[in-house]
Structure formats: C-alpha cells, structure tokens
Amino acid sequence: MRSIIVLAITTFKGGVRDRLLQGLILVGLLLIASTAVFSSFSMRQPVEVAINYGLSVIHILSIIMTLFFGLNLISRELDSKENHFVLTQPIPRSSYILGKYGGFFLNILAIITILGLFCIIGLLLMTAGAKGSIPFPWVKFLAALLGILISCAILGAVILLFTSVATSSIFPFLMSCAIYAIGENTQTVRRYIASGMVGKDFPPVFRLLTDIIYYLFPNFALFDFKAYAIYGLPLSGKLLLVSIAYGTMYAAVCLFFAVILFERRDIS
C-alpha cells in the first residue's frame, strides 16, 4: 500500500511539472476568462450560457488532458525505458499500475478543481451583475464537475488497460479516442433507434450490435450533469449515486484487467 501511495505522489508531482499540462491549464484559464464575452451574445440567458460555456470548456480540456496524461503514464515510459528503474525495485507490478493510476487521478482532480474554481469566480462576477436570472446552482455545478471527473477516471483506466498490453503509445491513444467517442454517443444512438425514427427497414443485426456496444462500452452520457447545473433542473440523488457506482465499478474492472495483463507482460 505504501509503495502505491509513494508512486501516486511521485506521478502527481511529475504531472504538475509537465509543461503540456501547464499549457493546457493556461488555455483553460484564458477560455474561462472569455466567459463574459461569450455569454454577452445571449439574449435571454447570459448566466446559463456562462455556466454552459465554463462547464463545456472544463469538460473538453479535462478529456484532452486525460488522453495525453494517461499516455504519458506508462506507455511513453515503456517506450523510453524510463520505468525500468522502478520495475526492477521490489515493488509488485500491481502496485506500479495502481500507483500510476492514483497519481493520474490526483492530477485530473487538481486540474478540474483549479478550472472549476476559476469558472466559479467568473460566474460569481457575472451573477452579481445579472438581473432576473436563476440563482447559482452550487450543488448541481459540483455534481457536473464530479460527472466530468468520473468520465476522466474511466477514460484513464481504459488508457491504462490498453497501455498495459500495447507495445507503442499510438495504439492506446487511438483505442482510447475511439472508446471515448463510442461511449459518449452510444446512448444517443440507441435512443434514436428505439424512437422508431430509423424505420422498419433498419437491420435487426445493427439493433443488436448497438445494444451490445451500449452495454460493453462505458456510457459517458450518464455522467453528463451539465444540463442540471445550467438550468437548475432537479437532480435526483439516486441518479447521482448510481452514476458514481457505475463509474467506479467500470474503472475498477478496467484497472483489474490492466493489472492482470501488465503482470503477464514481458517488459525486457
């Protein structure tokens, strides 16, 4: 357990020093600073547009950072043989994987917290000057940030899973991008097919395939609480709990297989 914590902290510190992450945070801060300009074109709901813009920026940047940072975790270290020093130490490979994931999670948590804080400051400045708009939905805003964090946590675990078997960093990157794209849209496509808009000619095989994909791949749409935060819609605590449970379990399963596959991998 101690080795996991030490590795997590080391990975976290390495992530903080990463220039790519620093640059992305800077871009994120600039984008959030532009919230007021973006929302000023709204006719009836500048505050809602500001929340929408801030959360979307955090979401997009967090996913980009997850992809790049997740790849840096093991894949590039394996490419450059940087991690051979750690792996030759008396540390179980499972601890190595879990420690790396812990560091990654802390980094993403820090990034979302920083961007979220800047977003809140920008929104508070806006809501102070707005008239007749909705009160700031604090709990739902935090729920939306939590949803983004869970999405990133799952995506990070998926990256680790592919990294643990891949011999180059390109394969896990492409696979993770594909899985994210599928996971983000599988619910929309399945609901579209279920709505009957596809017509009777739609092949049943595709319908079955959509169902398989829906259950097999992570459903990232489940963690999208942005609409609740933007419009102050009532958010069910049960939905939130189920989402957290589903996300945690999915990430745990990915990590479990990542550990098994990495333990059997021939590093030399």
Partner 1 sequence: MKRVGLCILLIFFVALTTYYYPKIQRTYEPSLRLHRLPPTLALSVSSFGNKQLMSTLIFYNTEFYFGEKVGFRKETPELKLIYDALNKATDLDPYNMDCYYFAQGTLSWIKPAIPVLNRLLIKGFKYRPWDWYLPFFIGANYYFQLKDPINAAKYTKAAARLNPRSPLLATLAARMLYQGNQTQAGIIYLKSLIRETANPLFLKKFEKRLNALEVIFSLEKGIERYEKKFGKSPQLIGDLIGGHIIKKVPPDPYGGIFYIGKDGRVHTTSKLAEGWRKNDSHSDIIVKKGVPKRSSEKEGGVP
The one among 35, 74, 100, 224 contacting partner 1 by CB under 8 A = 224
Instruction: Compare residues 6 and 227 and give the one whose CB is closer to partner 1.
Output: 227
The distance of closest approach from Cβ of residue 192 to partner 1 in the complex, given in angstroms and rounded to an integer, is 5
Alpha carbon of residue 112 to chain centroid: 10
**Of residues 50-89, those binding partner 1 (CB under 8 A):** 52-53, 56, 59-60, 63
The one among 27, 209, 216, 233 contacting partner 1 by CB under 8 A = 233
Q: How many CB atoms lie within 10 A of CB 192?
A: 13
**Of residues 137-156, those binding partner 1 (CB under 8 A):** 151
Number of continuous H segments (helices) and E segments (strands) in the chain: 12, 0
State the number of binding residues for partner 1 (CB under 8 A): 29
The distance of closest approach from Cβ of residue 226 to partner 1 in the complex, given in angstroms and rounded to an integer, is 6
For 109-160, give the DSSP string: HHHHHHHHHHHHHHHHHHHHH--S-PPP-HHHHHHHHHHHHHHHHHHHHHHH
Instruction: Compare residues 91 and 244 and give the one whose CB is closer to partner 1.
Output: 244
* Strand (E) or helix (H) holding 97: helix 93-129
Rounded distance between C-alpha atoms, residue 180 and residue 73, angstroms: 18
Longest Cα pair distance anywhere in the chain, in angstroms? 65
**Of residues 168-197, those binding partner 1 (CB under 8 A):** 180-181, 184-185, 188-189, 192
The distance of closest approach from Cβ of residue 175 to partner 1 in the complex, given in angstroms and rounded to an integer, is 17
The one among 107, 226, 261, 262 contacting partner 1 by CB under 8 A = 226
Rounded distance between C-alpha atoms, residue 71 and residue 85, angstroms: 19
> What residues make contact with partner 1 under the rule CB under 8 A?
41-45, 48-49, 52-53, 56, 59-60, 63, 151, 180-181, 184-185, 188-189, 192, 220-221, 224, 226-227, 230-231, 233
